[in-house]
């Protein structure tokens, strides 16, 4: 049985979102900015994710039939915005990102509707290292745990506990520890063991010849990125709250595009700007809004905290299990 009814859940969703933004600003000093829902097709600005997902696109009839795409994330747009708006080293932005990912699976943690806080911060070259990455991860985790503590005071039915201490584990270390398990099964075992995990170095091939998970080659540096994972007791599973990392510079972009067989992206203005050192060095990521609410409000299905489209058979199963989808 859900601990909060539908009306309590709606109030709690707003509370969690407001509280987390407040704590995120306190921990990292970001400024909120406006962001696009769509961008021009063919510019290289939209996030290609794993390179196979099809963006939702349409033409703008009153602008000569210009083709545009619904954003899949704002990973690249934010870096351009930091330059255009004149942000300096140590300054950063966050924004509400709403996307449609038509090819995503639909299950209790995934939806074709994506809502997250996209954030990005300008850094110096001396900060492109693992220690700086870990410092930012710890501050984001602290903001999440502080939000939980606030929510517990207002909604006493919530009795979740999360660990502030973060276990930093590379994807190769995870493979070495659990060679017989799938990547997701490794994440589950790691979070059951440690509670809060930052799984690092995602995108490049491991010793078995396969990456832990797919990552586009043109935004995160695969040696300086990772996912923030928590153990979710309701699901008895891991839940990913954030994918983030230090962004590619000229050297890592060229290396990763070659590894991914995506050298053709060099033609885009965005990629040329990185290769020519015309964009600031940054760190950034996305923090799932519905995922965070699902975790903190102890929900079993992401549809309990967002309105999306679900298969009829899934709705029937949820109804039988007293899981109330919005």
- pLDDT for 73-87, tens place per residue? 788 889 999 999 999
Which of 109, 223, 243, 306 does the annotation list as catalytic? 243
Domains and CATH numbers, the chain: 6-320 (3.30.930.10)
Report, as ranges of residue numbers, the positions in the chain whose pLDDT lies below 70.
48-51
Structure tokens at 119: 């954030």
Active site residue 101: yes
38-40, strands of its sheet edge to edge: 38-40, 66-70, 57-60
Active site residue 240: yes
Which of 48, 72, 101, 171 does the annotation list as catalytic? 101
Res 100: pLDDT: 86
Which of 116, 171, 223, 238 does the annotation list as catalytic? 116
Active site residue 47: yes
Which of 47, 118, 220, 249 does the annotation list as catalytic? 47
113-122, strands of its sheet edge to edge: 31-32, 92-100, 113-122, 282-288, 237-247, 220-232, 196-200, 167-170
Give residue-wise pLDDT tens across range 194-233: 999 999 999 999 999 999 998 889 889 999 999 999 999 9
Active site residue 138: no
Which of 118, 146, 220, 227 does the annotation list as catalytic? 227
Which of 240, 249, 298, 304 does the annotation list as catalytic? 240
Res 50: pLDDT: 63
Give the CA distances from residue 96 to residues 33, 117, 228, 237, in Å, rounded to whole numbers and listed in that order. 8, 5, 19, 27
Active site residue 116: yes
* Whole-structure pTM value: 0.92
Res 53: pLDDT: 77
Sign, Cα dihedral of 172, 174, 180, 183: negative
Long-range contacts of 297-301 (CB under 8 A, 24+ apart): 297/3, 297/4, 297/9, 297/12, 297/13, 297/16, 297/151, 297/155, 297/158, 298/3, 298/158, 298/159, 298/160, 298/233, 298/234, 299/2, 299/9, 299/234, 300/2, 300/108, 300/234, 300/235, 301/108, 301/325
Res 95: pLDDT: 94
Active site residue 312: no
């Amino acid at each position: 049985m859900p601990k909060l009814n539908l009306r309590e859940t709606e109030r709690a969703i707003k509370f969690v979102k407001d509280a987390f933004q407040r704590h995120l600003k306190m921990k990292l000093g970001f400024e909120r900015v406006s962001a696009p829902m769509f961008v021009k097709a063919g510019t290289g600005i939209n996030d290609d994710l794993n390179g196979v997902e099809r963006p939702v696109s349409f033409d703008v009839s009153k602008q000569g039939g210009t083709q545009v795409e619904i954003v899949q994330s704002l990973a690249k747009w934010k870096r351009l915005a930091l330059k255009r708006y004149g942000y300096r080293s140590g300054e950063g932005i966050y924004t509400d990102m709403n996307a449609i990912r038509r090819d995503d699976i639909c299950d209790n943690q995934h939806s074709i509707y994506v809502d997250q806080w996209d954030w990005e911060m300008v850094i110096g070259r001396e900060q492109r290292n693992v220690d700086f990455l870990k410092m930012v991860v710890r501050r984001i985790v602290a903001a999440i745990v502080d939000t939980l503590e606030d929510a517990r005071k207002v909604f006493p039915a919530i009795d979740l506990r999360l660990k502030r201490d973060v276990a930093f584990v590379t994807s190769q270390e995870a493979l070495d520890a659990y060679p017989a398990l799938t990547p997701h099964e490794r994440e589950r075992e790691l979070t059951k063991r440690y509670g809060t995990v930052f799984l690092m170095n995602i995108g490049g091939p491991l010793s078995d010849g396969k990456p832990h998970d797919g990552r586009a080659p043109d935004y995160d540096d695969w040696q300086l990125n990772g996912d923030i994972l928590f153990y979710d007791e309701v699901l008895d599973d891991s839940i990913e709250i954030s994918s983030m990392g230090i962004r590619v510079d000229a050297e890592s972009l060229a290396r990763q595009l070659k590894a991914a067989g995506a050298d053709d992206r060099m033609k885009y203005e965005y990629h040329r700007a990185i290769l020519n050192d015309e964009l600031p060095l940054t760190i950034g990521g996305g923090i799932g809004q519905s995922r965070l609410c699902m975790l903190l409000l102890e929900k079993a299905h992401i549809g309990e905290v967002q309105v999306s489209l679900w298969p009829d058979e899934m709705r029937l199963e949820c109804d039988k299990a007293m899981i109330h989808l919005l």
